[in-house]
Amino acid sequence: MTTNEQPRTQWLGRWGFVLAATGSAVGLGNIWKFPYMTGEYGGGAFVLVYLACILCIGMPVMMAEIALGRRGRGSPIDAIRRVTTESGRSSAWSLLGWMAMACGFMILCFYVVVAGWAFSYLWKMLSGGLAGTSVDDMAAIFGANNANPFNLGAWSTLVTVATMVIVGKGVQAGIERSVSWMMPGMVVMLLIMIVYGMFSGGFGDALHFLFAFNASDLSSEGTLAAMGHAFFTLSLASGAILTYGSYLPRNASIGRTTLAVAAADTAVALMAGLAIFPVIFANGMEPGSGPGLIFMSLPLAFQAMPFGTLFGILFFIMLAMAALTSSISMVEATVSWLTDNKGVSRRAAAWGTGIVLWIISTLAMLSFNLGADWTVAGKNFFDWLDFLTSRFMMPLGGLGMVLLAGFVLKSQVMRDELALSPFVHGLWLFMVRYVSPLGILVIFVDALGWISL
């Protein structure tokens, strides 16, 4: 623990952590993934399970992770080693930190590809490449954009470089400064989109699709997908929140910040759904059309709007920014671990990580063209990265986090860090000890087909 003697960097502003953690949480998960998953898993039932998971699993896990980070003042590996040692428990729990760090990195490897889509659509908007296209053209345009590995690879490379530039600049000058203006802009854009959606003719269908709950739509797989997505969307068990928590000043309230971040993230996901599904239904498109959903539907909405090109440009700028404020959080754990343990500068750590990321993300990018048939069990490399992280690593990592916080550490540690009223602390403890672990296990086992609910 080389740098334990030096005080750890902290967020500069009072809102630094909330902005950065919200920046991490709000991203492609909300605007790209949530709508297409809701489409694939049938709408309201998926949304309901997702919301329940945010409340009963996601928020308690987030509080535990922030507390672990702040108490341990380090990357997930170092922080967990310190807090377990402090409590006289096995430091083998730091394996959980390794898994989280690996998970964040694996997510990033496919995330930069999707962020690349956002940048390439921004470019299409700017250069007029989407003008005058019809519903039927949209799938072909999306396909053509993916077909050329040099085109697609250039965009994901751009995202990789931008991410590393920001992270290389540091916590305050890079991360904190960039999120403080990107986040508000995105919310304004989504509001404009919703207003458009309200007048597009598909709004009623969209509301019905998102919020009408039909228990028979609930599949085991959809339930696991909803739980995995709750972890993904809140950036949990991937090192991001824990590492950002390690920069949190002592006097900040972990409960209140968690509430703010989770509420903002949920609001943006629902807003994205309300912006996208009206367009889907008004144009007779297929809600279950998968990862290309927003790229095939939103450009249509922009075309039909007054000043649509302008709004389209603004929207894709915001989407690209939302992606960047998340991607930077996924490397921060690794960069922090490297600088604390390997004696390298932050800049060198960022670029070193960036090179490895570039190689693996290029393989993920090839899943859409040259490597489309490199599949195992029907999934290509891109799908596997998503599947392994969301369905396995995050739920298991989250399980580890709640067991660690709820049973393993001396109870005073979490009491000190969370500083909640006795009633709220009791509620949190009940959640991390019983509700979250059992919830994770039941959903998991159910999806494995061992039992049926």
Phi, psi of 411 (to 5 degrees): -65, -25
CA distance 134 to 303: 9
Closest distance to ligand PFF from the beta carbon of 112 (Å):
12
Residue 27 interacts with ligand PFF (CB under 6 A)? yes
Q: Given the complex with ligand PFF, which of 31 and 404 has the nearer CB atom?
A: 31
Residue facing Na ion at closest CB distance: 233
- In the complex, the smallest distance separating the C-beta of residue 30 from ligand PFF, rounded to whole angstroms, is 5
Strand, helix or coil at 376? strand
Taking phi first (over 0 means left), then psi (-120 to 50 degrees means alpha), and beta for anything else, what does residue 127 get?
Answer: alpha
The interface region with Na ion, picked from 22-30, 107-115, 238-246, 249-257 by CB under 5 A, is 22-30
Binding region for ligand PFF (CB under 6 A) out of 20-28, 181-189, 204-212, 344-352: 20-28
Residues 312-331 that bind ligand PFF (CB under 6 A): 326, 329-330
Residues 6+ apart with CB under 8 A from 392: none
Helix (H, G, I), strand (E, B) or coil at 300: helix
Using CA atoms in the order 8, 9, 15, 17, what is the torsion angle rounded to 10 degrees? -60
104 lines the binding site for ligand PFF (CB under 6 A):
yes
Q: Binder to Na ion among 16, 29, 39, 400 (CB under 5 A)?
A: 29
Nearer to ligand PFF, 35 or 202 (CB): 35
28 makes contact, choosing from Na ion, ligand PFF, none, with CB < 5 to 8 Å by partner type, with: ligand PFF
Instruction: Give how far Cα 452 sits from Cα of 52, 218, 352, 427, 448, Å.
Output: 20, 12, 46, 29, 9
CB of 394 to ligand PFF, least distance (A): 8
Q: Which two tokens stand for residue 211?
A: 């919020």
Q: Which residue is nearest to ligand PFF (CB)?
A: 29
Q: What is the DSSP string of 69-137?
A: HHHHTSSHHHHHHHHHHHTT--GGGHHHHHHHHHHHHHHHHHHHHHHHHHHHHHHHHHHTTTTT--HHH
Q: Which of 84, 238, 257, 353 binds ligand PFF (CB under 6 A)?
A: 238
Q: Which does 60 bind (CB under 5 to 8 A by kind): Na ion, ligand PFF, none?
A: none
The runs of H, that is alpha helices, within 199-292 are: 203-211, 220-233, 240-245, 254-282
Q: How far is the CB of 19 from ligand PFF (least distance, A)?
A: 14
The answer to whether 390 contacts ligand PFF (rule: CB under 6 A) is: no
Q: Which of 25, 59, 241, 314 binds Na ion (CB under 5 A)?
A: 25
Q: Please report, as residue ranges, which positions from 219 to 278 form the binding site for Na ion (by CB under 5 A).
A: 233, 265
Does position 243 bind ligand PFF by CB under 6 A?
Answer: no
Span 129-158, contacts to ligand PFF by CB under 6 A: none
Nearest alpha carbon to residue 120 among 99, 144, 140: 144
* CA dist., res. 93 & res. 84, Å (int): 7
Residue whose CB is less far from Na ion, 265 or 386: 265
Nearest residue (CB) to ligand PFF, 224 versus 429:
224
Residue 316 φ/ψ region, left for φ over 0, alpha for ψ in the -120 to 50 degree band, beta for the rest:
alpha
Interface segment toward ligand PFF; rule CB under 6 A; list 233-241, 270-278, 304-312, 358-366: 233-241
Residue that the structure tokens 């920014």 belong to: 321
Residue 364 binds: one of Na ion, ligand PFF, none (C-beta under 5 to 8 A by kind): none
Residues of this chain that interact with ligand PFF (CB under 6 A) are 24-25, 27-30, 104, 107, 232-233, 235, 238, 240, 326, 329-330
